[in-house]
């Protein structure tokens, strides 16, 4: 049996993983390969899954906890992608607050399911918005424990991709590359943009190589890791917006909703990891994102649709208490709806701090 290439693209919340995975999936599809994707999050009702499916990809999801805590579900979800025909490539996106993926997912996968999968190098995207501050010795507006996770993700990478270079000046790019190579002198580092495709030829070449071997897995202080995750508030909810008379721009409302969240969270001093909203009337889809207090809100998928109703999915991860994240976001969406004369029904609200990671497997060497 031909084995499936298993690739994992990690990186912090909002680093550009979903965008990069969509680009890579399109590349492999254009090569005539069959591609499957797996998304992952601590919550249920994932913007990423719907976003990638709306782009026509074959997507499975592992919601409710990180891959390491749901290893068996990851294996089952990857297998289910091959129910009709085995994929040539599976691209996986771990939740952006997760680290220690070599020891808890990739080594166990190779050891236990090496007959099914060949592993590419673990690629980790460096998010420039927080990278400059955290690599420079700060915490980027997060707790020191959350900054610890950011750095551990890069430390275990077999390939580092400095992402979003299209929005960096030449001097910012040079500074970030220097900070990365000073800290990780042994690693391959590629400057790229998931949006424009710059640098992706090099990323694709690197992903085609075998994963570099190492004798030991990275040391991780699980108390610090757990505190870092618990310092983040998670909010997912579904909202139905409707109007009885006039149609409205789905893109404008999607963008404005994230802008209103950003104003509320900035006023409350809560740094965003990633705030994302996907809105759909069933036919057209719009997605807007906000990834850092000093970055603008972006409409990453435009629908160009005028609608009278839409289902809106909100996934918010920010530094602070989950009840506060939930309160600010619910209040903002209600105010926005009122301002635009829309009816607003909020449902499926979940808010929580991620629990302590309890990996199913943790290998201390590649073999066990």
Ligand X SMILES: Nc1nc2c(ncn2[C@@H]2O[C@H](COP(=O)(O)OP(=O)(O)O)[C@@H](O)[C@H]2O)c(=O)[nH]1
The contact pattern for ligand X, residues 265-284, with x = CB under 6 A and - = no contact, is ---------x----------
175 binds, among ligand X, Mg ion, none (CB under 5 to 8 A by kind): none
Round to whole Å and give the CA distance between 117 and 362. Answer: 19
Q: Which residue is nearest to ligand X (CB)?
A: 16
Per the CB < 8 A criterion, the answer to whether 117 and 86 are in contact is no
SS3 (DSSP) at 80: helix
Residue 41 as a binder of Mg ion (CB under 5 A): the answer is no
Q: Which listed residue (4, 18, 285, 292) binds Mg ion by CB under 5 A?
A: 18
Q: Which listed residue (116, 164, 319, 351) binds ligand X by CB under 6 A?
A: 164
Q: Mark the segment that binds ligand X (CB under 6 A) among 6-14, 106-114, 177-185, 211-219.
A: 6-14
Residue 73 as a binder of Mg ion (CB under 5 A): the answer is no
Run of H or E residues at 159: strand 159-162
Residue spans of beta strands (DSSP E) within 41-104:
59-62, 89-92
Integer distance in angstroms from the first to the last C-alpha of the chain?
A: 25
Q: Mark the segment that binds Mg ion (CB under 5 A) among 48-56, 68-76, 154-162, 280-288.
A: 48-56
Tell me how far apart the 2 most distant CA atoms of the chain are, in Å: 65
Q: Which listed residue (291, 307, 318, 337) binds ligand X by CB under 6 A?
A: 291
Q: Quick one: DSSP state of residue 355?
A: P
Round to whole Å and give the CA distance between 281 and 182. Answer: 48
Minimum separation from the CB atom of position 77 to ligand X (A) = 18
CB closer to ligand X, 38 vs 342: 38
163 binds, among ligand X, Mg ion, none (CB under 5 to 8 A by kind): ligand X
CA–CA–CA angle 178, 180, 184 (5° rounding): 120
CB closer to ligand X, 217 vs 285: 285
Contact set for ligand X, span 189-208 (CB under 6 A): 193-195
Q: Which listed residue (18, 143, 315, 332) binds ligand X by CB under 6 A?
A: 18
167 binds, among Mg ion, ligand X, none (CB under 5 to 8 A by kind): ligand X
The contact pattern for ligand X, residues 60-99, with x = CB under 6 A and - = no contact, is ------------------------------------x---
> Among 109, 80, 117, 120, which Cα is nearest to 1's?
117
Strand partners, 190: 161
Q: Which residues contact 247 (CB under 8 A, 6 or more apart)?
A: 306, 307, 308
Residue 153 as a binder of ligand X (CB under 6 A): the answer is no
> Among 297, 293, 357, which Cα is nearest to 139's?
293
SS3 (DSSP) at 209: coil
Binding residues vs ligand X (CB under 6 A)? 11, 13-19, 96, 163-164, 166-167, 193-195, 274, 289, 291, 298, 300
């Amino acid at each position: 049996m031909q084995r499936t290439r298993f690739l994992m693209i990690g990186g912090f919340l909002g680093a550009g993983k979903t965008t990069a995975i969509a680009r890579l999936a399109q590349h492999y599809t254009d090569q005539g390969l069959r591609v499957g994707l797996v998304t992952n999050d601590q919550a249920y009702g994932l913007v990423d899954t719907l976003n990638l499916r709306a782009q026509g990809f074959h997507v499975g999801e592992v919601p409710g906890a990180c891959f390491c805590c749901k290893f068996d579900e990851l294996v089952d979800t990857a297998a289910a992608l091959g129910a009709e025909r085995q994929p040539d490539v599976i691209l996986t996106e771990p939740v952006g607050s997760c680290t220690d993926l070599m020891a808890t997912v990739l080594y166990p996968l190779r050891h236990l399911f090496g007959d099914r999968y060949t592993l590419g190098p673990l690629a980790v995207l460096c998010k420039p918005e927080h990278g400059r501050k955290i690599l420079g010795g700060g915490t980027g507006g997060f707790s020191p424990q959350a900054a610890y996770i950011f750095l551990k993700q890069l430390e275990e990478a077999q390939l580092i991709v400095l992402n979003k270079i299209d929005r960096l000046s030449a001097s910012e790019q040079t500074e970030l590359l220097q900070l990365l190579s000073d800290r990780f002198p042994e690693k391959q580092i590629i400057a790229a943009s998931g949006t424009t495709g710059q640098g992706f030829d090099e990323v694709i070449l690197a992903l085609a190589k075998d994963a570099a071997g190492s004798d030991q897995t990275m040391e991780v202080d699980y108390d610090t890791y757990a505190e870092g995750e618990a310092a983040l508030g998670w909010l997912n909810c579904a909202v139905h917006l409707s109007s009885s008379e006039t149609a409205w721009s789905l893109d404008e409302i999607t963008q404005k909703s994230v802008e209103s969240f950003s104003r509320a969270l900035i006023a409350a001093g809560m740094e965003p990891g990633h705030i994302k909203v996907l809105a759909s009337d069933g036919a057209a889809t719009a997605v807007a994102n906000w990834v850092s207090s000093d970055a603008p809100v972006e409409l990453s998928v435009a629908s160009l649709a005028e609608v009278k109703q839409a289902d809106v999915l909100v996934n918010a991860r920010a530094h602070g208490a989950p009840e506060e994240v939930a309160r600010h976001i619910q209040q903002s969406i209600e105010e926005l709806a009122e301002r635009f004369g829309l009816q607003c029904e909020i449902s499926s609200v979940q808010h929580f701090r991620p629990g302590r990671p309890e990996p199913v497997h943790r290998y201390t060497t590649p073999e066990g």
